[in-house]
Structure 1
Amino acid sequence: MNLLKKLIFVLIGLIITSLGIKLLSDSLLTFGGTAGIATILTYVTNVPWGVLFFIVNLPFFIISIQELGKWFTISSLLSITGISFIREWFDLVIPAFEINIVIASIISGLLIGFGVTFVLNNGSSLGGIHILGLYIDKKFSINRGIVLFVCDSLIILFALALVGWFKAILSISCIFIASSIIGRYKKSPIKEMERDQEAQLVGKSLHS
């Protein structure tokens, strides 16, 4: 039952995050994370975005499987697949958002912040920078919200030449809102999984 509850919360998180990303994209704002890195690289190479996205995520999944565990890595991989399908489906069924670009950056930040928090707090992640944030949080006790904000802001700065100052500032504001929410409402999914595993072992020992 506990696993089903976590899966439901992860799914809710993926849906909320997808809405935030769609609003961001429809407002022609840029974004951070490995998706942002892959987008920047498509402007300087002839490699397709999908290939670049996979390559950019690969080192983070190596970190994940070594430091955060096999099941967490598999869960993150499934979340990335899930959000890709949900995001594409939204484009098919929901018309493009047409709202003020400043309001769009604020709402996107709120949606992505709460969506990613649901995903991270229930034993999964959206790969890339989120895995790095969890690893640094676990290893050095540095708030993952700070890690996400710094990394994403650096990515936005590299994209500055592509989107212009105004949109870059709004994109950083969106990231700041999302990162603040993620940092404020964080739980450790690694510790949660460890507690679940310990509870299972105790349960088995009691029944043996």
Structure 2
Amino acid sequence: MKNFIYLLFGCLLTAIGVTILGHSQIVTGGTAGLALSSSYIFELPFYMVFFLINIPFYIFSVLRMGWKFTFLTVLSISMLSTMTYFSYWLPEMTFTPLLGGIIGSVFIGFGLSTLFLNGSSLGGANILALYLQKKFDWDPGKVNFVFDFMVVLSGFYYLGLVNGMYSVMTIAIYSSIISYFKNQIKEKTHKTEQKQLILKTS
């Protein structure tokens, strides 16, 4: 129950961040960024695109990270999709790209870190970042930044150079927040693996 509350809290923080970025005409990285970009281009709801775009990554997650992690990831994606769906009912908010980018990225950074610390993610590059940390001890924040930067580059065409640069700023901010928690994330992952090993051998 405690773990679920943390996941709910992490999704809420991330949903607030994504909503603020959306109202600021800024994209983020990862599958959330792809979904946000696609929702602009095809004029589809973010929550729908975000859920569908993550489906291929579930297979990789099951093979490399296990069923429990995959289940919690699907749960987190579903919760975030639901929260962003209801955000469309909220009054229109207006943020400058600079202010919206800073505030939104801070919410996303702490939201993703909360999910990572509780054995979950939001799919896509999140899964790959955690896998590479687990396998090669790579910094998940830096891995996220590289992949998210490539996603943001795809949004420069319709966002323009200025808003595109603000988008790069946002991924740099929340990737730095994730990097700050990298040791705690690694330790949490190691403890979870030890518990699973004990259960298997008992």
- Superposition map of 1:174-193 within 5 A: 174-186=170-182, 187-188=185-186, 189-193=188-192
User: Runs of 5+ in structure 2 lacking a partner?
Assistant: none
1:44 Cα shift?
Answer: 8.2
1:104 Cα shift?
Answer: 1.0
Q: In the alignment, what sits opposite 2:194?
A: 195
Write the deviation string for residues 23-76 of structure 1: whole angstroms up to 9, x where unpaired: 00011111211233345567888x998786556423422221111111100110
- Superposition map of 1:1-208 within 5 A: 4-38=1-35, 40=37, 53=50, 56-92=53-89, 94-186=90-182, 187-188=185-186, 189-198=188-197
Give me the whole-angstrom Cα distance separating, in 2, the residues matched to 1:49 and 1:85: 10
Identical pairs, percent: 35
Give me the whole-angstrom Cα distance separating, in 2, the residues matched to 1:73 and 1:111: 23
RMSD: 2.6
Give me the whole-angstrom Cα distance separating, in 1, the residues matched to 2:40 and 2:83: 26
Give me the whole-angstrom Cα distance separating, in 2, the residues matched to 1:200 and 1:26: 46
Residues 123 and 192 of structure 1 are in contact (CA less than 8 Å); yes or no, is this contact kept in structure 2?
no
Residues 68 and 190 of structure 1 are in contact (CA less than 8 Å); yes or no, is this contact kept in structure 2?
no
Alignment partner of 2:5: what SS? helix
Residues 38 and 49 of structure 2 are in contact (CA less than 8 Å); yes or no, is this contact kept in structure 1?
yes
* TM superposition score normalised by structure 2: 0.86
1:98 Cα shift?
Answer: 1.8
Residues 60 and 132 of structure 1 are in contact (CA less than 8 Å); yes or no, is this contact kept in structure 2?
no
1:195 Cα shift?
Answer: 3.2
Structure 1 160/135 Cα, relative in aligned 2: closer, same or farther at 3 Å?
same
Given residue 196 of structure 2, which amino acid in structure 1 is its aligned partner? Q
Given residue 101 of structure 2, which amino acid in structure 1 is its aligned partner? S
Residues 136 and 144 of structure 1 are in contact (CA less than 8 Å); yes or no, is this contact kept in structure 2?
yes
Residues 23 and 95 of structure 2 are in contact (CA less than 8 Å); yes or no, is this contact kept in structure 1?
no
Residues 17 and 111 of structure 1 are in contact (CA less than 8 Å); yes or no, is this contact kept in structure 2?
yes
Given residue 22 of structure 2, which amino acid in structure 1 is its aligned partner? S
Structure 1 104/140 Cα, relative in aligned 2: closer, same or farther at 3 Å?
same
Name which of structure 1's ranges 5-14 and 36-45 shifts more when overlaid on structure 2: 36-45
Given residue 6 of structure 1, which amino acid in structure 2 is its aligned partner? N
Task: Tell me how many residue pairs correspond in the alignment.
Answer: 199
Give me the whole-angstrom Cα distance separating, in 2, the residues matched to 1:12 and 1:51: 21
